[in-house]
Amino acid sequence: MADMAIKSGAATLETMLGGTFARKAAITVLGSLFLAAMSQVQVPFFPVPMTLQTMAVMLIGITFGFRLATATLALYLIEGFVGLPVFAGFSFGPAVFVGGTGGYLFGFLGAAALMGLMADRGITKTWLGMFATLAVGQVTIFGLGIAYLTYLYGFDKALAYGLYPFVLGDLLKTAIALLMGKGVLKGAARFASL
């Protein structure tokens, strides 16, 4: 996958900074800590709070590349599952995965993997490509989140609880992730050339 990313000219943290296993592990751990911190910035809603988690997931997806983004999100989910208070509201444990946010958590993993794959293929090189990649991530997160909420509460309530309150906020978070993603990649390229 990294070879494909390098051949396509993709700019991800893995291709620019990855190098050794230790460096890749550090990027993964720091990414999971960043995601845990952004999970605590929230506006309470029921059953799904509005947090900066989705923005963090989008940034990780468009900047880390497939392998690092997937590893980072998997690590984050494992941390929460085993009892570290990394989810919104410092929540943790298996119960979170079967509650209202469970579909979104798995959506984060799927979105990061898809966005990372698109980044590895060079789709995020242009502003339009990066926006399209972020849109794929949002659709994946909301798709899995709403599907699980539909299972729990029915389709109408799933939309009322899990989509409508978040549309404007997530459009703003997408715009911020777009700008920040370009900035992170530009900074990493400068650092890598030192």
- 143 is in which domain, residue-wise? 2-186
Intra-chain end-to-end CA distance of the chain, in Å: 25
193 domain-assigned: no
pTM for the structure as a whole = 0.89
pLDDT at 3 over 70: no
Structural domain includes residue 29: yes
Domain count, the chain: 1
Q: What is the DSSP letter of 91?
A: B
CA 166 from centroid of its chain's CA atoms:
16
Q: What amino acid is encoded at 57 in this protein?
A: V
55 lies in some domain: yes
Here the CATH number for the domain that contains residue 13 is 1.10.1760.20
Tell me what percent of the residues of the chain surpass a pLDDT of 70: 94
**Structural domain includes residue 191:** no
Residue 127: pLDDT band (50, 70, 90) is: very high
Is 192 part of any domain? Answer: no
pLDDT at 6 over 90: no
- 3 state DSSP class of 131: helix
